[in-house]
Structure 1
């Protein structure tokens, strides 16, 4: 079976993607759950729950930035390693994996020191004030101590799934999630640590996940084995060239989150803390809504990369079609839920009635064009999987830097007020996703058809 042997050239394409993607989706579900459980416990704290959620929202840009570095080396490294495996070059694939691991370790150590020391100033730049800085600092300075573990668990886990061991990859997330869910109430309530307890629970959980990842990749079960620190400069250039797309997407997302927080503080008036808290809840909802497609996209990327390396172009085309159609169906279902019954979803995170009323209105605007994101996901994942880094980078920049950031600054000033911040996301989804998918169709889909016809001849 493809999911066991790592040979993605056999079997019905949709079934191979599902066999690979469903365990990844379950792993992502558990990962999202322990992020969500964090926010549920924080939001329902007897004293200061809304303020704590807002403080956590101030930290989001920096947490996203840390994840961006994991994405830089995991996306490029895992994709190139999978292409090498498809071409039967396992030794080369191991060099790629070793180089990615070494860079994750070095970057993790550097970020730990830098972010810990600069946290007070940085959090204030990101929209923190005298009311929210203490809670934001309480969370972030503990969270940042687990940076190396976060980078290893997030950055190396794709190499496990790319080898055809999605259940082992799911185990990475399960271990961390179960620990986090168990430790959260203990540390937040029983030990009376509040938001600092949530951060400590996350650090312990991510460390356990990192140990699991390294244990498997160094074992004899792994197809590609991690034998130690290794740095191949030629491979590093290729990894960064391809991974810079996902990295840029997350960095620009971090920048956008910072701009959003600042604009909400500026235009929210006396309710600015409520609006930042509402955006924090919306980010949590987005994680839940994006979840079903995440596993399919990750599974589809591995299948596309492998078959592209093996020159099995019809299977690549079928993968793209399946990712798009399944993603569109899921996104429409999620969109209907938020449009029709947003309040029960928001009550998961808070019992503050004012925050709930505000978040309901803002969520309906923010997610108004969510079905379009199926086009963005299909286009972006195809560019990355088939080694088209320039296109992938361009469309990452287009949506976040060219569209979201300027619109976030502009729309509140032309009569939309604080709600203009949420309309910016709506507009960017429509424009950016349509442009990305159309370009993918014209550039890659037609190329695959041409290559297929040449092989038939």
Structure 2
């Protein structure tokens, strides 16, 4: 376990290596789960590419909103459930934590389902989809919305199991659901098999999520240590204060993903003016950000754990050193990825489609976009330290500054002034805010450490 005793000691190389090992030990399990989810998502996009460029553009555009809900449920809601469980571990309130996470998760999932069904058409119209491509995107979102309640059940169960010290079953259940979804997507959607097209992709997501949620509940009931004992009067065990505690931790991360989705929607609206190929190409380019975000979130989780230990040990000044270690490890992963994307700009889009116009549009956007990927990852890690210090809204402030204060005004300014060459000027505006956001996150982390020390009267 990563403890205050084996955290950073800069003067000792042995201790420095120990820190790296401990950070990796707490980072790699989360990274493995995230990477499986990422690979599954990319392969499903590859399947969409076999259905034609229009279907690929529809699903790549619509999936921004599915990705937002998946991130909220399997990441933000899971983190909230983990914390609510961990602080009540060994108490009689543990069963109430589980039931509150499950009932509350279903309620949130149903709310998102209703919202997506109502808003999917205006959202995709705003993004620039038209005609048959619009209809495919709308139907895909409507069908996929049925997967949102079980997704939040999976997030709640995963958080509960991690909170009671059983991370392996949690990862097994979620990973199994993701892999099942991929297998069903191949069977349902691939033209050589059932050939249900985009409807098959949506059905695969729904069926796999419901099966995963059912397996999770059966496991809880079967395992004596965490047996699920539900009374007929279910609301007697639902605790609103516990549910509020879960939301208090998870909603800042949810706000971040909503801001990211809104930013993507505005970017789609601007790029749609250049044709369907640029709109679909942007959907592919967003997968590059997903790759970096998935990797960075695992290193962020490791930092949150280590920083929490340091806060408890009254050694908050050392959070900066731990943060730097995580950023160095992350950079070793991101930089080779960036170099490959720059050296072979058309190679990665060809993984998803053979449509030449779509490949060229994605490569043209990607050659600028990859320049901001490292800064995006570094910003995410630095911002996670704010969560451990108890200032999650400052993390939201970093994303608001990057996306709503810098990126979108720059893009709309370029479009209004018609700066040439277009659309390259838009692509540059997309990433100009990334290094500035990183500098802001670093500054906020250091000032927040000082503020925490001052407010608690603790000096390292």
TM-score tier after normalising by the smaller chain length = 0.7 to 0.9
1:84-129 deviation line (CA, Å, top 9, x unaligned): 27xx775567655543333211111223234334433443234321
> What is the TM-score when the length of structure 1 is the normalising length?
0.85
Q: Who is 1:332 aligned against? A: 335
Alignment of 1:297-376 (within 5 A): 297-306=300-309, 308-309=311-312, 313=316, 316=319, 319-376=322-379
Cα distance in 2 between the residues matched to 1:253 and 1:327 = 21
Deviation at 1:349, TM superposition (A): 0.8
CA gap of 1:118–1:427, structure 2 versus 1, over 3 A, is: closer
Rounded Cα–Cα distance in structure 1 between residues aligned with 2:228 and 2:278: 46
Deviates more, 1:112-121 or 1:134-143: 112-121
- Quote the offset at 1:418 in angstroms: 2.6
- Structure 1 unaligned spans of 5+: none
Q: Does 1:440 align with 2:445?
A: yes
The 1:36/1:355 distance shift into structure 2, 3 A limit, reads same
Aligned counterpart, 1:152 = 153
- Gap change, CA 1:241 and 1:144, over 3 Å in 2: same
Which stretch has the larger CA shift, 445-454 or 307-316? 445-454
The corresponding residue for 1:422 is 427
Q: Is the 8 A contact 1:100 1:236 kept in 2?
A: yes
Matching residue of 1:73: 77
- In the TM superposition, residue 412 of structure 1 has moved relative to its aligned partner by 2.5
Select the structure with the greater relative contact order (CA < 8 A; seq sep ≥ 6): 1
User: Pairwise mapping of residues 169-318 of structure 1 onto structure 2 (< 5 A)?
Assistant: 169-188=170-189, 189=191, 190-217=193-220, 220=223, 230-266=237-273, 268=274, 272-306=275-309, 308-309=311-312, 313=316, 316=319
Cα distance in 2 between the residues matched to 1:395 and 1:340 = 31
Structure 2 portions without partners, runs of 5+:
7-17
- Mapped partners of 2:373, 2:128: distance in 1: 27
C-alpha distance after superposition, 1:255-304 (max 9, x if no partner): 111111111113x1xxx100111011112233234443332322332343
User: What is the match of residue 43 of structure 1?
Assistant: 49
In the TM superposition, what is the alpha-carbon distance from 1:55 to its structure 2 partner? 0.6
Q: Cα offset for 1:195?
A: 1.1
Report if aligned partners of 2:144, 2:205 keep a CA contact under 8 Å in 1: yes
Give, in angstroms, the shift of residue 408 of structure 1.
2.6
CA apart distance, 1:317: 5.3
Q: Secondary structure at the match of 1:367?
A: helix
Measure, in 2, the Cα distance between the counterparts of 1:8 and 1:208: 38
- Superimposed CA distance per residue, residues 197-255 of structure 1 (whole angstroms, 9 cap, x where no aligned partner): 11111112222332344344555476x77655654444444443332221111011111
Distance 1:432 1:217, change over 3 A: farther
**Deviation, structure 1 residue 359:** 1.2
User: Would you say 1:16 and 2:26 are equivalent positions?
Assistant: no
Q: Cα gap change, 1:63/1:235 in structure 2, threshold over 3 Å: closer, same or farther?
A: same
TM-score by length of 2: 0.84
Partners of 1:313 and 1:452 within 8 A in 2: no
Q: How far apart, in 2, do the equivalents of 1:226 and 1:392 lie?
A: 35
User: 1:20-99 maps to which residues of 2 (within 5 A)?
Assistant: 20-45=26-51, 49-67=52-70, 69-70=72-73, 71-79=75-83, 81-82=85-86, 84=87, 98-99=99-100
CA–CA distance in structure 2, aligned partners of residues 10 and 212 of structure 1: 39
Indicate how the Cα distance of structure 1 residues 110 and 237 shifts in structure 2: closer, same or farther if over 3 A, else same: closer
Structure 1 residues 231 and 212: alpha-carbon distance in aligned structure 2, compared to 1, 3 A threshold: same
Deviation sequence 1:139-160 (CA, Å, 0-9, x none)? 2221111111122224542443
Kept after mapping to 1: 8 A contact 2:121/2:138: yes
**Aligned pair count?**
439
Deviations 1:169-212 (A, max 9, x none): 32133212321222222111211201111111111222233234
1:389 corresponds to which of 389, 392, 407: 392
Cα distance in 2 between the residues matched to 1:386 and 1:211? 36
Q: How does 1:403-422 map to 2 (within 5 A)?
A: 403-414=406-417, 415-416=419-420, 417-422=422-427
RMSD: 3.1
CA distance 1:449–1:300, shift in 2 (3 Å):
farther
For the structure 1 residues 453 and 393, does the alpha-carbon distance in structure 2 shift closer, same or farther, using more than 3 Å as the test? closer
**Does the C-alpha gap of structure 1 residues 362 and 101 become closer, same or farther in structure 2, counting only changes over 3 Å?**
same
C-alpha distance in 2 between matches for 1:13 and 1:99? 36
- Matches of 2:459 and 2:222, distance apart in 1: 42
Q: Which segment is superposed worse, 195-204 or 418-427?
A: 418-427
* Cα displacement (A) at 1:376: 0.8
CA shift, 1:454, in A, is 4.7
**Aligned counterpart, 1:123:** 124
Offset, 1:435:
0.6
How far apart, CA to CA, are the structure 2 residues paired with 1:195 and 1:10? 53
Contact persistence 1:68–1:248 (CA under 8 A) = no
> For the residues of structure 2 that align with 1:331 and 1:403, how far apart are their CA atoms?
23
Q: Could you tell me which of 402, 405, 427 is aligned with 1:399?
A: 402
